[in-house]
Amino acid sequence: MSLRDLLRPPPHRGPLIAAGGVSLAVGITLTVLRLQETLPIGVDAALLLVPGALLFWLGAQAPNEQGEPPAYQSVLLCTGLPLLYGGLLVALGGALDEIPPTWVLVTVSIVAGGLALWPAFARNSAISLLVAAILGGVAIEAVAGATFARWLLLAYAGALVLAALALRLTARRHAEVLIDAAGLAIAWLAIASGDGLPGFFEVVVLGAGLGLVAFGALDRSPGPAYLGAANLILFIVAAARGETLFIWPLILLAGGVLMLAAGLRPRRPLPPEPDPYRAGEAPLAARAEPPRRSG
């Protein structure tokens, strides 16, 4: 048996392997955090990278079931990728208790995001695509200055929405997680701005919240709906400044009242149904047999 065959978990053992992977990942993380003052930084990085690479490979090599990734495969990928990401940050950053330099954060985010794209399309793993999209946002946030971060995140969210529209018919689950990533980008835009969110970006956060809630309701997708609610809460926090009803309270109150009134307006009764055709009066198009031609 080759090493590749050994690291290709059989489907019936997948849940057990995934449970063991989660336990191993939590144990490794606690070990690194508790012994960070004792172990050399290279050992810390190796403790994260080696199990992370193993779990990621197990997940990436797991076969699909009827074209869909099984649950244990998603668990393995979601467990291995964070360990790989953390191990690369520690290896290149050289510290556990400090934020790594910008170039390290950007480089590691691009590398880990690129790795996540492999199972995202080769194994049809939507969760891997979500991880890759989030890491892309991390790289953009790290490389952008305070002035351009909002605009770049807004452009990134727009690009994710366009990509989701392109994948909607062929890969519905992938399209949904791209919508999730766009919602996360807008939410982070609001969080990073704190109390100083400009008026234009208040409109962006409000529009994103309403759009995500509508998408989640129409598509019956809980993820976008929850993110929409989170964006609406962030909008409320940002727009709560002031002591008058001008301008957002007036706009939202008026819009809500108008839409409710339109939905609750009296309905006109429908016209009665026409009487059914009697025998021999059926229209020509409704006859079972085509009419015979004379002559």
> How many CB atoms neighbour CB 22 within 10 A?
14
Q: How confident is the model at residue 65 (pLDDT cuts 50, 70, 90)?
A: confident
Cβ atoms of 184 and 227 closer than 8 Å: yes
Select the more confidently predicted residue: 5 or 27: 27
pLDDT value at residue 291: 58
Structural domain boundaries in the chain: 1-143, 147-257
201-240 pLDDT tens trace: 999 999 999 999 999 999 999 999 999 999 999 999 999 9
Can you tell me the mean pLDDT for 264-281? 76
85-136 pLDDT tens trace: 999 999 999 888 888 999 999 999 999 999 999 999 999 999 999 999 999 9
Q: How confident is the model at residue 167 (pLDDT cuts 50, 70, 90)?
A: very high
Can you tell me the mean pLDDT for 170-188? 96
Q: How confident is the model at residue 7 (pLDDT cuts 50, 70, 90)?
A: confident
**Ranges 19-28, 163-172, 268-277: which has the least confidence:** 268-277
Query: Per-residue pLDDT for 241 more than 90?
Result: no
**Ranges 28-37, 148-157, 201-210, 276-285: which has the least confidence:** 276-285
Select the more confidently predicted residue: 193 or 18: 18
Q: How confident is the model at residue 64 (pLDDT cuts 50, 70, 90)?
A: confident
Query: Per-residue pLDDT for 272 more than 70?
Result: yes
Q: How confident is the model at residue 267 (pLDDT cuts 50, 70, 90)?
A: confident
Return the structure tokens found at 30: 């606690």
Q: Rounded to two decimals, what is the model's pTM?
A: 0.86
**Ranges 9-13, 19-23, 158-162, 259-263: which has the least confidence:** 9-13
